[in-house]
Amino acid sequence: MTTNTHTPTGHWINGEVVPAGSVETTAVVNPATGEIVAEVPAGTAADVDRAVAAARAAFPGWAATPPAERVALLRRVGAGLRERSEELAATITAEMGSPLTMSRAAQIGFPVAIVEAFAAVAEDFAWTEEIGTSLIVREPIGVVGAITPWNFPVQQIMSKLAPALLAGNTLVLKPSEVAPLNAQFLAEVTAEAGLPAGVFNVVYGTGAVVGEAISAHPDIDMISFTGSTRAGRRISAVAAGTVKRVALELGGKGANVILDDADLPKAVETGVMMAFANSGQVCGAWPRMLVPAARHDEVVRLAVAAAAQYTVGDPTDETTRIGPMAYEAHREKVDGYIRRGIADGATLVYGGPGRPEGLEKGAYIRPTIFAGVDPNSAIAQEEIFGPVLTIIPYADEDEAVEIANGTVYGLTSGVFGEPEHALAVARRLRAGQVDVNGGQWNPLAPFGGYKQSGNGREFGSAGLAEFLETKAIQR
């Protein structure tokens, strides 16, 4: 297997690569082979201080830049991503194991779409508004601290960077230490697009050090975080010391509610895809498939047949649909949940514990389906973040809604059925985004969670508004 990586030799601060304040580094491991493909700086609180100072100094000039100029620059960033898409896709595949076809289509395709969508929103955004005797002015917050995950690394960065820049903010980013190499690409693309020095800064390192320093920093005005609910709780607690705004996009345990009048083959095929895409490492996945009890066995047969189409293997192989987990410790966690499901009495109908045959090396997992699952069991309640689908029977529609809403999460769900019927059920689900009959992803629509899936929204006008203060001038 060949890898294509781009290794940062220092942090990106004030428009250039600067030496780290520590000689410590973090290894970036290719999860398909276990080989170290790069070493990146392990940042310190002092590195964060330097980045925040650069962002603070750059803020007045960037905030004063007309919105139309900010839009034009962001579009140049999108063009730069497209131009380097093949190299960037290969880097993401090497650092976190996303199949190359997925890296091209989604890992790069999604952030480019997000750039275009936010640019369109900003062009029509009401930056000022007259309400009675008041002039309502929407202004940038200041310096934004962004902390992003490894599963869709460029998309998650762009989901924060694009609206933050369009709003007139400057930004300090901590990318995931699991998949940090793509951030160097993005920093270079922004510089090539003409972004002024200091507006976008990158500090590599761990959450325990760099993430904590960003969350607590008195000169950072807002935190935007995507990741686990556990980490989101910690960030909220640390950020409370300076009463900064905190936007959180956290975990999920989405339900695919299949109604009696659904197109069953389509509902099951789409549901398996939404459980297994990106090797199941998607916060908006649907790992729970809720089915009428009378059709449970039929659904199981369809799901097993659909799962057989998901080839596991080398992520650089064009035929691979499921690559390795992003790192070995995560593989062990997912494998532990599969073993827990068996121990708790769920019926294993596909896959199971252990590595797939012929893939004894690398962080590979067997895509797995359980049937007849207790909706209160660990595998039906806790976020596994791997290719594990639980099929849960329900007696009637009210029970289906109760089960779908019966976790601490509320990020995404799906409903399949006669369109008006499915829409009525979708309205009853406590989730920030619900797809009806496989509705298409819309980067202009707000995305975010209810309950412990987070606070705030990304994408669309709501996503841009997250990065703005609102001032009322009475006249």
Q: What number of CA atoms fall less than 13 Å from residue 302's CA on the CB side?
A: 20
Whether the pLDDT of residue 2 is over 50: the answer is no
> Do 44 and 104 fall into the same domain?
yes
- Residues 186, 65 contacting (CB under 8 angstroms): no
Q: Provide the 3-class DSSP secondary structure of residue 437.
A: coil
Whether the pLDDT of residue 290 is over 80: the answer is yes
Whether the pLDDT of residue 113 is over 70: the answer is yes
CATH of the domain at 36: 3.40.605.10
Q: How confident is the model at residue 316 (pLDDT cuts 50, 70, 90)?
A: very high
6 assigned to some structural domain: no
Number of domains within the chain? 2
Distance CA 167, CA 466 (A): 9
Q: For 16-60, how does the pLDDT look when each residue is reduced to its tens digit (9 = 90+)?
A: 999 988 889 999 999 999 999 999 999 999 999 999 999 999 999
pLDDT in the model for residue 1: 35
Distance CA 415, CA 255 (A): 8
Percent composition of the chain: helix, strand, coil (DSSP 3-state, to 5): 40, 20, 35
> Do 285 and 418 fall into the same domain?
yes
Q: Which of 343, 274, 358 is nearest to 313 (CA)?
A: 358
Q: For 190-217, how does the pLDDT look when each residue is reduced to its tens digit (9 = 90+)?
A: 999 999 999 999 999 999 999 999 999 9
- Residues 164, 144 contacting (CB under 8 angstroms): yes
> Do 325 and 243 fall into the same domain?
no
Give the Å distances, CA to CA, from 364 to 97, 354, 356: 10, 8, 7
pTM of the model: 0.96
> Do 214 and 185 fall into the same domain?
yes
Q: Which residue has the tokens 């389509």?
A: 266
Residues with active-site annotation: 249, 283
> Do 263 and 229 fall into the same domain?
no
Distance CA 420, CA 41 (A): 54
Distance CA 86, CA 96 (A): 16
Neighbours of 297 (CB within 10 A): 15
| Percent of the chain whose pLDDT exceeds 70 | 99
- Residues 270, 416 contacting (CB under 8 angstroms): yes
242 assigned to some structural domain: yes
> Do 101 and 75 fall into the same domain?
yes
Q: Which of 119, 121, 98 is nearest to 108 (CA)?
A: 98
5 assigned to some structural domain: no
- Residues 41, 25 contacting (CB under 8 angstroms): yes
2 assigned to some structural domain: no
> Do 226 and 374 fall into the same domain?
no
Question: In this structure, are strands 170-174 and 200-202 parallel, antiparallel, or unpaired?
Answer: parallel
- Residues 471, 462 contacting (CB under 8 angstroms): no
Q: Which residue has the tokens 């900064």?
A: 244
- Residues 438, 414 contacting (CB under 8 angstroms): yes
> What phi-psi label fits residue 421: left (phi over 0), alpha (psi between -120 and 50 degrees) or beta?
alpha
| Percent of the chain whose pLDDT exceeds 90 | 97
Distance CA 202, CA 198 (A): 10
Tokens for 369? 């389906």
Distance CA 417, CA 405 (A): 18
Distance CA 330, CA 218 (A): 33
Q: For 125-163, how does the pLDDT look when each residue is reduced to its tens digit (9 = 90+)?
A: 999 999 999 999 999 999 999 999 999 999 999 999 999
Average pLDDT over residues 382-411: 98
Q: For 257-287, how does the pLDDT look when each residue is reduced to its tens digit (9 = 90+)?
A: 999 999 999 999 999 999 999 999 999 999 9
Residue 118: which residues within 8 A CB-CB, separation 6 or more?
74, 162, 163, 166, 443, 459, 463, 464
4 assigned to some structural domain: no
> Do 235 and 288 fall into the same domain?
no
The CA radius of gyration of the chain, in Å to the nearest whole number, is: 22
Strand order in the sheet with 11-13: 16-18, 11-13, 200-202, 170-174, 143-147, 222-226, 245-249, 454-455
Rounded to 5 degrees, φ, ψ at 11 are -75, 160
> Do 203 and 157 fall into the same domain?
yes
- Residues 20, 10 contacting (CB under 8 angstroms): yes
Residue spans of alpha helices (H) in 355-432: 378-381, 397-404, 419-428
265 assigned to some structural domain: yes
307 assigned to some structural domain: yes
Q: How confident is the model at residue 6 (pLDDT cuts 50, 70, 90)?
A: low
148 assigned to some structural domain: yes
Whether the pLDDT of residue 182 is over 60: the answer is yes
- Residues 247, 466 contacting (CB under 8 angstroms): yes
> Do 316 and 456 fall into the same domain?
no
CATH of the domain at 279: 3.40.309.10
Q: How confident is the model at residue 386 (pLDDT cuts 50, 70, 90)?
A: very high
> Do 29 and 140 fall into the same domain?
yes
Domain range enclosing 286 = 255-442
Residue 342: which residues within 8 A CB-CB, separation 6 or more?
348, 352, 353
Tokens for 57? 């100094």
Q: How confident is the model at residue 238 (pLDDT cuts 50, 70, 90)?
A: very high
> Do 38 and 162 fall into the same domain?
yes
Average pLDDT over residues 353-365: 96
